Structure 1
């Protein structure tokens, strides 16, 4: 009888620990909804939020004339892309230009190819007005884009935004330096479970 109780207790404890390991949560989940959009990708094709439905994706903001934060951010995004692919995770990457009047599809494609040979799961977007991207970034990503008159540089957020299959922003992470690659990959795995 005593032995049965011990075995039963052991089984209950095992089940509790096993189930606790399966129900991982992402701390401080944001759940900000990305507003609907239809823009133009680096191939000159229309690309919309609908293309990303059902997919986990990582977004950032860049521009091709950037002389400070964008090159390291884009290199870091390329590294994250490699890590995700090494883990065999299905993730799409999206870089929104914050200087759409300068950043044509061809220019974005040329820029992207400086960082990776494979743009099949990395979309660079343009094809909107400066006002549209300022509004979209503010409304969806809770960030600021600032372009001063007569200045070819654009102020913008330097984060990577993790977005779930329903188009909701889960978390954001440093994108320029000290990128928490392992944490991002772990959070992607949790979302895809």
Structure 2
């Protein structure tokens, strides 16, 4: 009798777990409204917050002369895209704001992206065409992230956070985009969040 009861309890527990897995809902962690912008990308195309609306996008801050975190961050973003493609997910964009715009012209950004094996570069927008002061203020106001370039320095301090912006232009999730232990970068979580968001909202 005891064996039957234990078996029944285990069966009910497994059913509950499977039911929960089938009802995963997207839940926003943040509600930061992105400030309007209109900049140029690595293809010399104009990209604005308005033009990105209608699809979610993953954002980050990088610069091409970065000697530390930007290379692994960009690589991690290519890995995210690779998994999105394998899942057949197409309704998204990737946006990288240069935090060193005086150096990072569209041509420089295009050459930078060419260093990586990018599964679909048509979805990538590496933005520039603004001042240093602008991007430092924009990052703080829109994403609550620090960007700071000290006078006379060629390196820029910036956070290593990826952020998910929904189809209305609101930042709803943030993730670690870089960690010395690559297993700590939640690539599968990001892919899962985008997949769930698209299924529920597009």
Measure the CA separation in 1 of the matches of 2:22 and 2:87. 20
Name the CA distance, whole Å, in 2 between partners of 1:45 and 1:182: 31
Match of 1:161 among 140, 160, 163: 163
2:77 corresponds to 1:77 = yes
1:155 counterpart SS class: strand
**Which structure 2 segments of 5+ residues have no match?**
1-14
RMSD: 1.8
1:5-84 to 2 correspondences below 5 Å: 21-22=22-23, 24-26=25-27, 29-84=29-84
Alignment deviations for residues 106-156 of structure 1 (CA, whole Å, 9 cap, x no partner): 000000111134310011000000011011100110011010011000000
Q: TM-score, normalised by structure 2?
A: 0.82
Q: TM-score, normalised on structure 1?
A: 0.86
Match of 2:4 in 1: none
Match of 2:152 among 150, 153, 158: 150
Cα 1:190/1:151, change in 2 over 3 Å: same
Runs of at least 4 residues of structure 1 off by over 2 A? Answer: 17-23
CA shift, 1:22, in A, is 3.8
> Distance in 2 between the 1:81 and 1:165 partners?
18
Q: Distance in 1 between matches of 2:67 and 2:52?
A: 30
Question: Distance between the aligned counterparts of 2:21 and 2:188, measured in 1?
Answer: 21
Question: Offset of 1:190 from its aligned partner?
Answer: 1.8
Q: Aligned partners of 2:197, 2:155: CA distance in 1, in Å?
A: 35
In the aligned structure 2, how far is the partner of 1:93 from the partner of 1:51? 13
Q: CA, structure 1 residues 65+20, in 2 after alignment: closer, same or farther (shift >3 Å)?
A: closer
For 1:135, what is the secondary structure of its paired residue?
helix
Q: Deviations over 1:149-180 (max 9, x none)?
A: 11000000101101111111111111012210
Structure 1 residue 103: deviation in Å?
A: 0.2
| Corresponding residue of 1:101 | 102
| 1:7 matched residue in structure 2 | none
Gaps of 5+ in 1: 1-13
